[in-house]
Amino acid sequence: MTYKKHMNINKGAAGLFILFSLLFFILLIRFIYLQATGTADGQMLAAEAEKRYKQQRVIEAKRGTIFDRNGEIIAEDTPSYTVVAVLDKTLTTDPKKPRHVVDPEMTAKKLAPLLKMKVSEVERILKKDAKQVEFGPKGRNISQQLKMKIEALHLPGIGFIRDTKRFYPNGTFASHVIGYAQKSDKEDGQTVGAMGIEKSLNDYLKEKDGYVTFKGDPQGLKLPNTKESIVRPDNGNDVYLTIDQKIQTFLEDAMNQVEKQYKPEKIIAIVADPKTGEILAMGSRPSFDPNKRNIQYYMNDAISYPYEPGSTMKIFTLAAAINEGVYNGNELYKSGAYKIGPNMIRDHNKVGWGTISFNEGVQRSSNVAFSILVREKLGEDRFLQYLHRFHFHQPTGIDLPGETIGNIVYRYPIEKVTTAFGQGTSVTPIQQIQAATAIANGGKMMKPYIVDRIVDPDTGKVVKQNKPKVVGQPITKETAAKVLDILETVVTSEKGTGRPYKIEGYRVAGKTGTAQIPSPNGGYLTGYNNYIFSFLGMAPKENPRLLMYVAVKRPKISYTETGAAPVSMIFNSVMKNSLQYLNIQPSLEMKRKLKSNKGIALSEYVGLTVEEATKRLQEKGLTPVFVGKGQRIEAQIPLAGEEVIARERIILKTDGQATMPDVTGWSLRDIMKLAQLLQLQPSMKGYGYAVTQNIPPGAKVNPRDYLIVELANPQQMDKRIAEIARQKEENKKQKDENKPLD
């Protein structure tokens, strides 16, 4: 029995021995095979091991930064974060230190206000059947400051994924110039320029991430005694623009004010250095904030919007006539209308100003004057050559995407003449800026550019450098100086359309423009504000350092305003602030004028005779105005001891009955002085200078009488006065016709 039991044990042991021996030989054969071939199931074991143990970590590169001319940041990459919530309960190993969202209701109440979301919306996300969730657009691209606020709540399960975003610290700032960049939808998630400089220089700005590889365990920890392999990141190149952040800010602020007050369809403005062609500021409305990308309109109108410019084109017609020696400013011509075949060219006030000189015609912006210059003096073919000399037939080549050109319409006689005063032919604002550099720069025309240089941030090496480039000399230095002299009178003359563009302390030369807008149904739009109002000006006139073009399309101006109101609001503010910021001092002549304008102390004239008061006031360069027919002064405004400026009106009341003076052309300030002296009750209509008055000149006036005065902007004064004169003539004619016969 015992023997049989031992036999069974021996048989079992033998069977196990044979089984394990068989398995050993199978494994041995498998091992020899693997060693010999290096493959298993068709897979290379070395490659598979490398794949399993090789770890790679990304070293993030940075997209190039965009700077202004002074190194101020305009666009840069900044850290951003995405808020995430861990909902997987299994990740919590210590209940005292939970790693998942424990209380969705409480978490939602605290988190929602910071993300500017509804509590119910956040709570719904936190109750999803998922291991980890995000909070949509409002939980992405959050700032470091907001991240710190959320972390301070110590909410279990709330974490962050680090990323970068493109940040524009100035918000709405040359937005159509700079454009914007955003993360690509592709797997690499690279930032890509989508508009403006960000797009056109994307190949320079774009970055390429680096990485480090090493052997590690499944948890990502580096194995001992292993080497690292590093591919360095390639940061994008930095771009330095010619834009000046201060001047651009002046421009943005001024455009914001006009947009708010006048609600125009468009605003376009450019500030340039005429000596170099550098663009110091460029902006338009409507605009957008590139951080929000609330884009209404994608075109950069300063370079891509051709339109009929109106009378700013007269600058170049004038320059051509002077350069050819056919302009005589003192020569007289008959204004009002000029016939070309079946067509009639008319001045903007429809009736003209009688027989005047060509210099006055420039000041008044007479279409007839410029029609005569092209048709009778310069010649149409020669004028076309000058249009080409000023490069109105080709793009400027500015380093911005999307530039277009206008169209020189020059087939029929009427088109050749209307081109002289900016109608029919279309140009872009940047074409006008380029052409005007020749006027401000001694005849040399400079190519406009906005990218100063591109720099490798890692080495400091300049990859690309732009420099000032002369692209032509359409006129001589002497011609440019003469044009500037005449354009200054457009601003300074009492007859000039540019009077609203005077800047205290500086001599400004420039030309206004009122461009008609083509109608979709043919012809042009009609209506008081259906124009593009503009001004092309430069200062200081004696050596222009700044050149500026402003255009405002269809502003909502009242009937007592002109298109100069919104345009001058931008030009005057930006030009004066920029000149002062650049420390460009007024000329000695202007300083003397300013000093004399503020240095006249008024004496006491009460008790003097009219003759003696007149003599003393005129000796001081002041203008006496007497109300009354007496011979001795009873009262005066301003009072003795007050400071007045040269040529200021001094209102003097004589003894006896007071009489009403002719206030045509008076400023509101002078009218109020008169009302104060005579104790009248003033009522004003409009703004600017007086064109009508309810009390006739010479009529007797008494205290408490009503004085009703209509005011008009300087550009509209002549037109309004002509209308009043015509209406009086018609009333007189009608009265005579209705007069009964003897």
By the 8 A CB rule, do 237 and 452 touch? no
Output the CA–CA distances (angstroms, integers) from residue 85 to 80, 82, 88, 148, 159, in the order listed: 17, 10, 9, 16, 6
β-strands 132-134, 451-455: how paired? unpaired
Place of tokens 């930006």: 574
Identity at 44, one-letter amino acid code: M
The dihedrals phi and psi of 446, each to the nearest 5 degrees, come to -100, 140
d(CA 710, CA 493): 22
β-strands 337-340, 445-446: how paired? unpaired
Identity at 271, one-letter amino acid code: V
Counting Cα atoms < 13 Å in the Cβ hemisphere of 291 gives 17
Helices (H), 157-293: 175-178, 196-200, 202-205, 245-262
Place of tokens 């006739």: 696
Place of tokens 């002078």: 670
Q: Report the DSSP beta bridge partners of residue 667.
A: 689
Which residue in 80, 284, 304, 311 is the catalytic one?
311
The dihedrals phi and psi of 320, each to the nearest 5 degrees, come to -65, -45
SS3 697: coil
Output the CA–CA distances (angstroms, integers) from residue 300 to 196, 283, 428, 580, in the order listed: 8, 8, 11, 28
d(CA 528, CA 169): 40
Cis upstream peptide for 714 (omega within 30°): no
Query: Which tokens in the block code for residue 120?
Result: 């119910």
d(CA 283, CA 269): 5
Helices (H), 127-244: 144-151, 175-178, 196-200, 202-205
By the 8 A CB rule, do 563 and 258 touch? no
Q: Report the DSSP beta bridge partners of residue 426.
A: 407
200 assigned to active site = no
Output the CA–CA distances (angstroms, integers) from residue 709 to 153, 682, 697, 714, 731, in the order listed: 67, 8, 12, 15, 21
DSSP character for 307? B
Q: Phi-psi category of 136—alpha, beta or left, where left has phi over 0 and alpha has psi -120 to 50?
A: left
d(CA 475, CA 73): 39
Burial class (CB in 10 A: 0-12, 13-18, 19+), 3: exposed
Q: Report the DSSP beta bridge partners of residue 334.
A: 355
β-strands 623-627, 649-654: how paired? parallel
d(CA 551, CA 553): 7
Distance between alpha carbon 542 and the CA centroid of its chain, in Å?
A: 27
DSSP character for 220? S
Q: Which DSSP string do the residues of 79-93 spell out, in sequence order?
A: EEEEEEEE--GGG--
Q: Report the DSSP beta bridge partners of residue 600.
A: 644
d(CA 659, CA 321): 50
Which residues are catalytically annotated? 311
